[in-house]
Every structure is written in C-alpha cells, then in structure tokens.
Amino acid sequence: MSLKVYNSLTRQKEEFKPQKGNEVTMYVCGPTVYDLSHIGHARSAVAFDVIYRYLKYRGYDVKYTRNYTDIDDKIINRANKDAVPWNEISERYITAFDEDMAALGVELPTFRPKATATIKEMLNVIQTLINKGFAYVLDGDVYYSVRKFKDYGKLSGKNIEELEAGARVEVDERKEDPLDFALWKASKPGEPWWESPWGKGRPGWHIECSAMSQKFLGETIDIHGGGKDLIFPHHENEIAQSEGATGRPFVRYWIHNGFVNIEKEKMSKSLGNILTIRDALGDYSAEVIRLFLLSSHYRSPIDYSEESLRDAETALDRFYKTVERIESNWPDIKNAPLDKNRGSLQLFIDAMDDDFNTAYTIGRIFDEVNNANRLMDDAIKSGVDRKLKEVLPVIMAIFREMGKILGVFNKTTEEYFQEKKMYLNIPPEEIDKIIATRTEARKNKDFKKADEIRKSLEEKGILLEDTAKGTIWRVKIK
C-alpha cells in the first residue's frame, strides 16, 4: 500500500511520491503574531503535526518549515493601540504561540523562521520578479502584475476576468490592474522599515512564504499546507511569485485543512466568539482537544461545542480506564514488544495512508478497547487467561504506536488520572479519609450512610467505584 494524499491543486487523491527519494519537504503557513492563537490555529497545527509525525513514522526524512509572520499591518495596528514597539507585540505572541503548541503536544518543526529574518531573500525574489517583468515599481511600492502570470487562478479555480468583474472598489488608483498585489510596501512615517533598492519599506504578506520556503526547502517543495481560507488569495499569490521567479513548479501537493466553528457559528471577531487555545485548555486537556480534532477528517469543517468535547473526554476516559485495568491486573503485559510479524498495525497504516484518515484509526483503537475488556471479562469469569496473554500485548503495542502518531492515548494512566484530579479543590487525602469512613459503614452494613457519602462526593465531582480490591475514585466529567 502506498500513501495517498488529497491535492487541492488537482482536487483528487494522488499517490504521494517525494521528488527526492526519501526526503520530504513541507511548508505550512504559521500564525501572524498579533494576538493569542485560537482553536482554528490549533486545528491546523494539530492536523499538520499528525501528518509530520506520520511521514516520519513511514520512514521519510521530513524537513518541515513553519513560519511566523512577524511584520504585518495587524501587528503595527496592535502596537499602536498598546503604545509599544511593533516587535514587542510580535515577540510576545511568538512566545505565546510556542507555549500553546507545546501545551497541545505539537512537535517542533525543523525550521521556524521569522519573516523579518528573511528580508534579504525576499528582496532577491522581488528583484528577480521585476527583472523578469512580473513586477513593477510605483513610488517605492512594488506590485505583482497578476495578468503576466499565465497560470494565475489554477489553485483556487478562479479566472482573472471574473475576479476583475467582482473586484471591490479599488482604493489604490495607481496600480496597473486592480488585481495586482503588493510585494513591497513603502513605509509610512513611524512604521518599521528595511532598506531596499526601491526605498525604505516592508514586505507584503505573500512574499515571505515564497522566500522562506525557497530558502529552507528549495525551489520546488513536496507539501505546502495551511487552512482552506488561505487558498485565495494567499497561496494563489505564492504560486505566482515563486513560479514567476524560478520558472519551476512551486508545490507538488497542496494540503488544506477545514475550519472550526463554535457552537455552529463561524468564529470571528465581530461575533466575539473567538476561542483561544488557552481558554480551551482551561476547560479540557490537550489530549481531549486533540482527540476531538482528530475524530473528524482534517478537511471537513468541525463544530466545537461543549457536547462534542464532553463526548471526547468520556471516550478518552474509557480508553485510559481500560489501560489501567490491564496494567493493574496483568502488569507483565505492559511493556511487551510489538511483534512486527503479526501485521496487527496494517489496518491502521492503511487508514493513515488514505489521506491521513485519523477518524478511522480512532474507531479501530476503540475496537481494540472493547476487545481488551472482553478478554479480561472472559479471563476473570473462566479463570483461564491464555488467550488474553497472547492478545493483550499486541493491543498494548498498537496503543503505543498509534499514540505516538496521533499524540493522543499517549500518557501513562497515572499521569492521565492525576492530571484530572488536579482540577479538584479537595485534597486527595481528605477524599481517602471520607472513603475510609464509608468503607467502615459498608462493613457494618450501614448502607444508608454509605450511599449518603457516595452521593455527597458525587455532588463534588467525585465518582466512587467499589471494586474487588477496594473502593477507588475518579473525577466526574462535567
């Protein structure tokens, strides 16, 4: 089986073959750092994180670049509003973004360049475009002449005539064509600037990605990713810039992730329903959020709602309860190695090979959860655990391997349940004391008192389970 990837450029699934043997070059558009990142950024980051992890798992040597757009109108506006230097804003939110990514368990890309550290390369690309006749200078600005690029619109499926017809009121009458976009903007007083052959100025938004991907990954890259909304105009313009300048294909596989809605509404500043990654992490653990995000296909729109997140948390609890049950009853099984000959992972690999079908693999993981519980029930009932000892190590190995790829199901049970208990405002010792009182009552057959205690703990978010080995407690899901 081979890896198949949906390519936004051709609008179909294609067999994935890197241009250079085993090496994969991948570029994903990172954040514009002018504010805290939201759950939509998290989705994109997690989707490409899994793609990155899976490509590595498949044995590819992946060079992955994700940039920071650290110079932009929005950053300048924010700096003016807060009355601080522009780079204080960008630095602040780069740090915040990095923290959020770490909290979500997103692996670090190979390269994480800042736009402002790549100005020299941008100037080179712009100069080349001018020399080749794709761009023109106007009072210190440089514009890309969209009509000069034959293939313009090939990614977004737009054609120039229609864009022209639908063009909004043009504010800049100096441009040769309303569709032309800025490669370089002359700086206004008080704005940050860099020296250039056309005077002091700063880069346009699109040029940085062309320059950075070429600098770190080469003229033609294997994968370029980002949110669906970036297809037009951002990625379309990147193609025009890069292919105009190099004369070579820019990207071989375009991958775009779908949007996150909040309670069925589009997330937007005007609706005031932006959900930051921090706020989400205040309500749910990183693994719950990842499980939620990966339970749908990366290209579909998803709806972030309290109900979906609670469902994900319940499911994740189910997973860890099962692992805990295995570990406490058959401790020697825990670290048994995966026998590669069993082919038990093939199902998962096939699914991931099919355009990274994480939802399917999660379904199969829960099949194995059921399977494991059934085996344990049978073994306890019959007193024979031969089959269990054969199968459970394989299941545990599957959990480990898939956990590494998905970044979910990846904690020890101690970590997982401990983390949940930290959200309670009652000290565990106190809970243990209350439980001891209840155990005493049960021993004396004072079930009325025992039930009262159980009920009062439940009201505080604590669930009791009376097992053969004694009473244990868990944190109730809101």
* Closest approach of RNA to the CB of residue 409, in Å: 12
Stretch that binds RNA, among 49-57, 83-91, 153-161, 405-413 (CB under 7 A): 153-161
Binders of RNA among residues 156 to 185 (CB under 7 A) are 156-159, 162-163, 166-168
Binders of RNA among residues 89 to 148 (CB under 7 A) are none
Complex with RNA: residue 127 or 233, whichever CB lies closer: 233
User: For residue 296, what are the contacts with CB-CB under 8 A and spacing of at least 6?
Assistant: 302, 359
Q: Which of 321, 334, 389, 400 touches RNA by CB under 7 A?
A: 321
Q: Which of 88, 247, 437, 447 touches RNA by CB under 7 A?
A: 447
Binders of RNA among residues 394 to 433 (CB under 7 A) are none
Q: Is 322 in the site for RNA (CB under 7 A)?
A: yes
Q: Return the amino acid letter for 421.
A: K
Q: Is 267 in the site for RNA (CB under 7 A)?
A: yes
Q: How far apart are CA 254 and CA 154, in angstroms?
A: 12
Q: How far apart are CA 196 and CA 385, in angstroms?
A: 75
* Closest approach of RNA to the CB of residue 355, in Å: 7
Q: How far apart are CA 394 and CA 205, in angstroms?
A: 50
Can you give the three-state secondary structure of 411-453, one letter per residue? Answer: CCHHHHHHHHHCCCCCCHHHHHHHHHHHHHHHHCCCHHHHHHH
Q: Is 229 in the site for RNA (CB under 7 A)?
A: yes
Q: How far apart are CA 140 and CA 206, in angstroms?
A: 18
* Closest approach of RNA to the CB of residue 376, in Å: 6
Q: Is 295 in the site for RNA (CB under 7 A)?
A: yes
Q: Is 377 in the site for RNA (CB under 7 A)?
A: yes
Strand partners, 32: 69
The DSSP call for residue 114 is: B
Q: Return the amino acid letter for 381.
A: K
Q: Which of 96, 239, 362, 397 touches RNA by CB under 7 A?
A: 362
Radius of gyration in angstroms for the set of CA atoms belonging to the chain, rounded to a whole number: 27
Q: Is 451 in the site for RNA (CB under 7 A)?
A: yes
Q: How far apart are CA 407 and CA 51, in angstroms?
A: 11
* Closest approach of RNA to the CB of residue 440, in Å: 12
Q: Which of 61, 98, 191, 311 touches RNA by CB under 7 A?
A: 311
Q: Which of 310, 334, 389, 400 touches RNA by CB under 7 A?
A: 310
H helix or E strand, kind and range, residue 398: helix 386-406
Q: What's the full length of the chain, in residues?
A: 478
* Closest approach of RNA to the CB of residue 51, in Å: 13
Is 129 within 8 Å of 244 (Cβ atoms)?
yes
Complex with RNA: residue 340 or 443, whichever CB lies closer: 443
Q: Is 257 in the site for RNA (CB under 7 A)?
A: yes
